[in-house]
Structure 1
Amino acid sequence: MMKTILGLHQQISRYDAALSAWGGSLMSMALRWYVGWQFFKAGLVKVSDWSATLALFHDEYRVPLLPPDLAAWFGAAGELALPLLLCVGLVSRPAALALFLVNAMAVISYPQLLSFECPAALNDHFYWGVMLLALVAFGPGRFSLDAWLAGRRAA
């Protein structure tokens, strides 16, 4: 009886490990695509009306240590380039960490965000930050260029 239970446990454990590996990779891919798309859309908005973007960085956003024009360039470039890296899974951990810093800077440089009656805007930044930190901690999964390159390097 004990052998039967142990055998069943081993089979379930193998299935659980395989499911975790594939499921975790699918979840990582979903997180990469979702959070990447959110930042990419923000970057597209910035470049679609550059004069409005510059006005926001001059009048509304208070980015520490950077002149407003340079902050606008860095913000737009980060929101366009980093999500692309994240979505394809290339240098994923550094891209996720850099997007986390972009996200944190957005919250820091726009103090009105903390005083809105509706907390949804701040909550979005919180959720994106958690997702990005999860990607930094657990990586992009097997459905990424990082994993593909690591496999080729090992071969």
Structure 2
Amino acid sequence: MNSPITRVIALLEKIPHSLIAFIARFSIAAVFWKSGQTKVEGLAIDLIDGTFQIGWPHLADSTIPLFKSEYAIPLLSPDIAAHLAAFAEHFFPVLILLGLATRFSALALLGMTLTIQLFVYPDAYPTHGTWAAVLLYLMARGPGVLSIDHRIAMWERARSR
């Protein structure tokens, strides 16, 4: 006889991986994209508040000073760190959202998350732990069927037959 708890668990186990992965991809991409947007001017895209400014992105005047003080990372100049962070926070979220090179993009953002945790905000481990869990899930399980990675895998399987 199935108890109510067993039935609820069985129902929850039917939540499709692709749904979880899509929500994870969208959510983590938004976190890093919004952070990247604070570092640049000339390119502003926010689907939630409707901001669209299409132009050539460049670092905001406040970005390098921030990397000299609050975001200082050992062995990396503030100028290089600022450019790398701004690039990574725009490039990898787009790939993750598209589901293209998802596992590798998640790995890159996990590296960034660990760097932030270790060198910038060591007390923010609850936030960084949540990001890490989402990124590790995407690395382990992949982006799901709603992704370019899935289409590429299907094409590769069909080609190898």
Q: TM-score range by the shorter chain?
A: 0.7 to 0.9
Q: How many residues align?
A: 131
TM-score, normalised with respect to structure 2: 0.75
Structure 2 portions without partners, runs of 5+: 1-10, 42-58
Match of 1:140 in 2: 143
Match of 1:25 in 2: 18
What is the SS of the residue equivalent to 2:134?
Answer: helix
Contact 1:63-1:108 at 8 Å conserved across structures: no
TM-score, normalised with respect to structure 1: 0.77
Q: What are the within-5 Å matches in structure 2 for residues 75-94 of structure 1? A: 75-94=85-104
Which contiguous aligned blocks of 4+ residues in structure 1 show a shift greater than 4 angstroms? none
Does 1:59 pair with 2:52? no
Q: What are the within-5 Å matches in structure 2 for residues 110-149 of structure 1? A: 110-111=120-121, 113-114=122-123, 121-149=124-152
Name which structure has the greater RCO, CA cutoff 8 Å, separation 6+: 1
CA distance in 1, matches of 2:24, 2:135: 8
Structure 1 portions without partners, runs of 5+: 1-15, 115-120
Larger fraction in helix: 1
Match of 1:39 in 2: 32
